[in-house]
Amino acid sequence: MRILIVDDEILVRIGLKTIIPMDSEEFQVIGEAANGVEALSILETQPCEIVLTDIRMPEMDGLALLKIIRERWSQVKCLILSNHSDFAYVQQALRLGATEYITKLEINPSELMQKLRAIKEQLLIEKQGQNAYTKLEQKVNLYSGEVKEKRLRELVLGHSSRREVEQVFSEFQLGPFPAPLSAVAIQIEAYDELIQNNRFQSDRLLSYTVKNVLSEILKKHGNGELVEIGGGKFGLLTGQLNTEVLREMQSAVQTFLRISISCGVSPAFEDACQLHHAFEQADHSLSYRFYGGRACIVHYSEIPPVPPRLSEPWNEDDLSKRIDEGDADGITQLLLAWTEDLLAKKNVPPLILREMWLSLLHMFSRSLKAEGTDIYSVTLHENQYPYPVIRGAETLQDLADWFVGWIPVFMAYKRQHGKDKLRPEIQTVIRIITEQYHLPMKVADLASKVGYTENYLSILFKKETGKTITDYITNIRMKNARELLKNPDYKIFEISERIGYADPNHFSRSFKQLEGMYPTEFRKMYFGHRTS
């Protein structure tokens, strides 16, 4: 505990310093002052817990010093040094917050140390109580903030009655937002890649960090509420929107975190209770970043109208013929021209456009099936399977660039691994895998079936098929998983067991790597298409 001694009598100061041991682990004298003015100068520059002060002093007496200490350093404890004739002043000092007093002429070293220790104990108890209160207050504020965000997220993502919206506004003193209301959907770019690279240790920390930066910008510019939606997406609800605020958010996130964000902006709504409808339109606007590229801001009013009829720009018979003939250049030119037209018009909803690319990929897949193989056996391009690229590409340009690079890889595989071009031993291994994929399978066991060493079979299999044996087994298992997922009677863990996975989580991760979505998402998409 740090102590400041304040007395205009030098002998008293020396005596007090003598009583309080210099090498004490309990107390440390940080300084001495001859009056209140000098004492304040020390208190302003050094931390202190206890002040030993006389009452009667020149320039500023002890009572004036006590008043200032109570106002500015309320946690500091004061012990009064008094004379017999100062009793009335002592009473005033106690009313001003002094903790204890002691008569100067009768100072007993043990009594002084006893009083100091009592003050120290009181300080420790108060500090513990304050720490506990601070922690409780932090928990209450955090809980209150989490509840508010949860309720707002429910309003944003689902239809709510006017009464429900007004109740949340009232409960959390949110306004309502001044009309017109605007909603913004904000997405962290390359979110999955950032998580996989582990730059932020966890998705929770990544979202938390970005949210803090966005909140600071929002706080700087006035009213608004930021809601975390999930998957690197946030919702911003505000009154009259200034696009420059969004640009400042983009700049801050890029500067401090080296991350880019894109924004979709709803039209203005005069009714502040239309949170859900506003966010739906903001999220729809955000999906058009597929055309705009990274770090873009898309306003709902800027989205072109959808043509009355949408169809693929290719003739199916002509494209099938080009694929069969290995016309990589012709197909590439067709896709580049289509992409250029799409980027110029931006009038095909991104969700529908992805379905068109999947339809295109299906034609390549159908060509391989006729040759006795499938799309999942094609050598990986940029370490990616085609389905996840189509479903997950953030921009049309990224998708087109990948696909144009993949076409020569596909054609090379098709030329090398067409029907009946595999060695008999490799065909035997493929037959065993196809028939026994649901059983535990080791490369060593497969090698013994065809009389090869494990290492030789692995090298030969990769050379003949373009795939490792492990990847080939995974592809066969996932092919069967896709069929089983189309039957609603099977639960995910049952499908996992039926295709040879003891751990459903391992199965889900492997499925996403090939399909670009988890099994539950694939099933939802399949049945959604069947009923639409």
For the purposes of burial, counting CB atoms within 10 Å of the CB of 325, is it exposed (0-12), middle (13-18) or buried (19 or more)? Answer: exposed
For the purposes of burial, counting CB atoms within 10 Å of the CB of 203, is it exposed (0-12), middle (13-18) or buried (19 or more)? Answer: middle
Q: pLDDT confidence of 102, banded at 50, 70, 90?
A: confident
> Which CATH number, 3.40.50.2300, 3.40.630.30, 3.40.50.1370, 3.40.718.10, labels domain 2-127?
3.40.50.2300
pLDDT at 104: 76
pLDDT at 11: 82
From CA 17, how far away is CA 23, in angstroms rounded? 11
Q: Is the pLDDT of residue 78 over 50?
A: yes
pLDDT at 530: 55
Q: pLDDT confidence of 484, banded at 50, 70, 90?
A: very high
H-run or E-run covering 478: helix 469-485
pLDDT at 532: 46
Q: Outline which parts of the chain fall under CATH 3.30.70.270.
A: 158-302
Tell me the average pLDDT of the chain: 86
Q: Outline which parts of the chain fall under CATH 3.40.50.2300.
A: 2-127
> Which CATH number, 3.30.70.270, 3.20.20.70, 3.20.20.10, 3.40.605.10, labels domain 158-302?
3.30.70.270
Q: Alpha helices, DSSP H only, in 162-238?
A: 162-171, 191-197, 203-221
Give the pLDDT confidence of 211-240 residue by residue, as tens digits. Answer: 889 988 888 887 688 899 988 999 998 877
Q: Is the pLDDT of residue 526 over 60?
A: yes
**β partners of residue 53:** 6, 80
**β partners of residue 384:** 381
Q: Alpha helices, DSSP H only, in 33-76?
A: 36-43, 62-72
Give the pLDDT confidence of 429-469 residue by residue, as tens digits. Answer: 988 998 999 998 899 999 999 999 999 999 998 888 878 99
Give the pLDDT confidence of 397-410 residue by residue, as tens digits. Answer: 999 999 999 999 99
Q: Is the pLDDT of residue 417 over 80?
A: no
pLDDT at 16: 86
Q: Outline which parts of the chain fall under CATH 1.10.10.60.
A: 424-531
Q: Give exposure, 2-22, as e/b (b: 16+ Cβ within 10 Å).
A: ebbbbbbeeebbebbeeebee
Q: What is the C-alpha radius of gyration for the chain, rounded to an integer number of angstroms?
A: 37
From residue 432, alpha-carbon distances to 74, 416, 447 in Å are 82, 22, 11
Work out whether strand 182-188 and strand 233-238 pair parallel, antiparallel, or are unpaired: antiparallel
pLDDT at 254: 93
Q: pLDDT confidence of 111, banded at 50, 70, 90?
A: confident
Give the pLDDT confidence of 238-263 residue by residue, as tens digits. Answer: 877 888 999 999 999 999 889 999 99
Give the pLDDT confidence of 358-397 residue by residue, as tens digits. Answer: 999 999 998 888 777 888 888 889 988 999 999 889 999 9
Give the pLDDT confidence of 319-354 residue by residue, as tens digits. Answer: 988 998 889 999 999 999 999 999 999 999 999 999
Average pLDDT over residues 200-207: 78
pTM: 0.59
Q: Is the pLDDT of residue 143 over 50?
A: no
Q: pLDDT over 70 for what percent of the chain?
A: 92
Q: How many other CB atoms are found less than 10 A from the CB of residue 304?
A: 11
Q: pLDDT over 90 for what percent of the chain?
A: 38
The answer to whether the CB of 460 falls within 8 A of the CB of 425 is: yes
pLDDT at 142: 45
Structural domain 424-531, CATH architecture? Orthogonal Bundle (1.10)
Tally: H helices and E strands in the chain: 23, 10
pLDDT at 342: 93
pLDDT at 292: 87
Higher pLDDT, 527 or 449: 449
Average pLDDT over residues 268-280: 86
